[in-house]
Structure 1
Amino acid sequence: MLTSVVEVLGWIGALASFAAYLLFSLNRIPNGHALQAAFLLGGLCMALNGVYHSAWPSAITNLAWCTIAALTLIRLVRSRPFIPAPPQDYPHHPLPLPTAHTTPPACSQAITDNDGAGMEVVVHTPHPGTDIPAGGTPKGGTAVSCAGGSARPLA
């Protein structure tokens, strides 16, 4: 009976590890919680099978596999930002909740050149780090690092 359980655990471990690696290699799942949990489960099951059969190289390798997966899971859990859920009885929670489709607010900044004339830069696209397509940087003025948008003279 114990032999059958250990054999089934070994095969479950092999299938979990193989499936996770295959899905990751085909870009079907990211390197995240699911992948590392599958590696942890697979390595643990195969390590138990290796210990039962006194296959020490396999058991030790799979225990190392488990350790790597466990440490990676801990790192992933610790790196996830904590966003508290708003209380159900308080509809206007002070913290904004993340949504699936958000558009950053338009960026608006006034810049001036050496002549005192100004330009207002209004950004409408969510691509930070790109140059301003219209207006550019006034001669001797200040560069604005916003996503693409438009520039117009200040009134």
Structure 2
Amino acid sequence: MTNIHCAFVRLAPVASDNYEAVCDLKLHQTQEIYLASNLWSLVEAAYEPGCFPRAIYQQDQLVGFVMWVQETPQRVSIWRLMVDRQFQQQGIGRAALKLALAEIRQMAGVQQIEICYVPTNPVAKDFYASLGFVETGWDEAGEEMLAVINL
């Protein structure tokens, strides 16, 4: 779904002035099984090297969270993407992921962007495929589907 307001979507670093609000963002209860909490994600970002946590804003309103990690000099993995339940179905997630992909593409040496998702998630496969991700099979743990964009 496209929304004219998506032109105003932007990413910003998670910092001392917005990390609590990022932690307060909520998914619909039925979506919580598919994604780790933002609190856990920020803990990961603090202790895992190469993490890039970003707050998603629609104009000045915090509406979501995305995080990726540079796994190797050539490969970046998107670990999280969420839009608060009250801002879903407006195209914000699509706009935010496009911005994240653009930022990742600017990283020197990156040749592949990957994302994993739970195959029972009813929207993930089509959503990621529409942005260029191609399924390659199960992740190393055999729990989630892996999809990649080769640059």
TM class, shorter-chain normalised? under 0.3
Which structure has greater strand proportion? 2
Rg: which structure is higher?
A: 1
TM-score by length of 2: 0.27
TM-score by length of 1: 0.27
User: Which structure has more RCO (C-alpha within 8 Å, separation ≥ 6)?
Assistant: 2
